[in-house]
Copies of this chain bind each other. A is one copy, B any other.
Amino acid sequence: MRLSRYFLPILKENPKEAEIVSHRLMLRAGMIRQETAGIYAWLPLGLRVLNKVTGIIREEQNRAGAVELLMPTIQPADLWRESGRYDAYGKEMLRITDRHEREMLFGPTNEEMITEIFRGYVRSYKDLPLNLYHIQWKFRDEIRPRFGTMRSREFLMKDAYSFDLDKEGARHAYNAMFTAYLRTFARMGLKAVPMKADTGPIGGDLSHEFIILADTGESAVFCHSDYLSFDTPAADTDFGDRAGLQQLVDRWTSLYAATEEMHDEAGFAAVPEDRRLAARGIEVGHIFYFGTKYSEPMNAVVAGPDGQLRPVHMGSYGIGPSRLVAALIEANHDEAGIIWPDAVAPFNVAILDLKAGDSATAAACEDLYRQLSARGLDVLLDDRDERAGGKFATADLIGAPWQILVGPKGLANGQVELKRRATGERELVSPADAVARICG
């Protein structure tokens, strides 16, 4: 993308309304714009990151055997009356009346709707196990939305729903999602620790939150520091291997880990003192097993091998990509701006033409742009008529992992400057070596 033809509205001033660093940087870097309280437009740079994040989530959901569909945002109220949650949900649910006075709502989650879809088609245990997910905008009418996309009203959620004949099957489905989540966050360069959690309004008796550590995190967390050095489950993990997955989950739940809500001083005291980690954390995923909580009242039943009908055992599994973008920034930034992990960077490389109007730098930049783009990288070429200082600041703010600085003096010696955003390291190399270093 040539910046002269892009829409990247950088803010020079720090926006006053932003209380946390990710909100501030997302506004300054032209990633989002607030349209009204807790409702944001994703500007081109922000949308690129959101798409990278959902792309990784999707790949790992598919790998674990979940199948993608897409449910609508608007739901009929009657569905929620069947589960008993219509009245229980309270004011966070955005209730809507259509032109025919029918009661509807903007979905805050989809347990009811997916159960309705399931019961509409599935009759036999032979069609199980089944795990269906979608990535769709949700609405929760927070009384005081804040922190940008970290706690917004309209937000994107990946929610998966598993259906099994019995509790053992459901436990396996839970373990598969647990494993997929570990891989998902690790691929984004995040250290996520699973912590036992309250089930809240979703219900059920088994639940974990996935928490990433960040100094600016929303809540205190306490865990055994060994979690931070655990290996991520491999890409070729056999998701059909029940015992293998159980072993993996057992290991990842064997040590102490708790959010403030669930914290137990005595349990934490039992951790060797040099392994006690008290830190700040951000919740980026939440998984639930809730058995027949929805299938029973909504009559989602299948015939077992014995011909008897029984309600299916279900779980649900959520990640908020729009919140995750903010969490990624909380975990990856410095004074100058964002430092994107490679896998979620909106652009892998920023090429800076340090002397707009110079035909030699322009030609060298175009050549680098073509070569890197041809190798499948997302490249931003700053070809604006702007001073070098402004280009440095923009590149640091938007946080592409690599920068190539192309100036007339260096170029006269056949060199460009290659800069790593994370460390600030710079080195003079030939354009060909810059490409080789980035792609190598």
Contact = CB atoms under 8 A, between A and B. Distances in A.
A71 B6 contact: no
A41 B67 contact: no
Contacts of A67: 5-7, 44
Contact of A39 (B30, B35, B72): B72
A99 B141 contact: yes
Interface in A106-162: 106, 113, 116-117, 120-122, 130, 132, 137, 139, 141, 143, 153-154
Contact of A113 (B41, B117, B143): B41
Interface residues of A, number: 53
A73 interface: yes
Contacts of A35: 71-72, 75-76, 79, 113, 116
Nearest to A36: B76
A43 B69 contact: yes
Nearest to A43: B69
A7 B102 contact: no
A78 B37 CA distance: 13
How many copies of this protein are present in the complex? Answer: 2
B41 A69 contact: yes
A42 B70 contact: yes
A435 B255 CA distance: 51
B106 A99 contact: no
Contacts of A130: 7
Contacts of A6: 67
A42 B132 CA distance: 12
A36 B76 CA distance: 6
A312 to B, nearest CB: 14
Nearest to A76: B36
Most B Cβ at <10 Å: residue of A50, A71, A113: A71
A204 interface: no
A324 to B, nearest CB: 15
Q: Which 9 A-B pairs have the closest CB atoms?
A: A9-B121, A36-B76, A42-B70, A91-B99, A41-B71, A72-B154, A99-B141, A39-B72, A47-B70
Given A5-B65, A35-B76, A73-B73, 12 more contacts: A35-B72, A35-B116, A36-B76, A36-B102, A39-B74, A40-B72, A41-B117, A44-B67, A44-B132, A47-B68, A73-B106, A91-B99
23 contacts: A5-B65, A5-B67, A6-B67, A7-B132, A9-B122, A33-B120, A35-B75, A35-B79, A36-B104, A39-B74, A41-B113, A42-B70, A44-B69, A44-B132, A46-B69, A47-B69, A73-B137, A74-B106, A94-B96, A99-B141, A99-B143, A106-B106, A137-B137
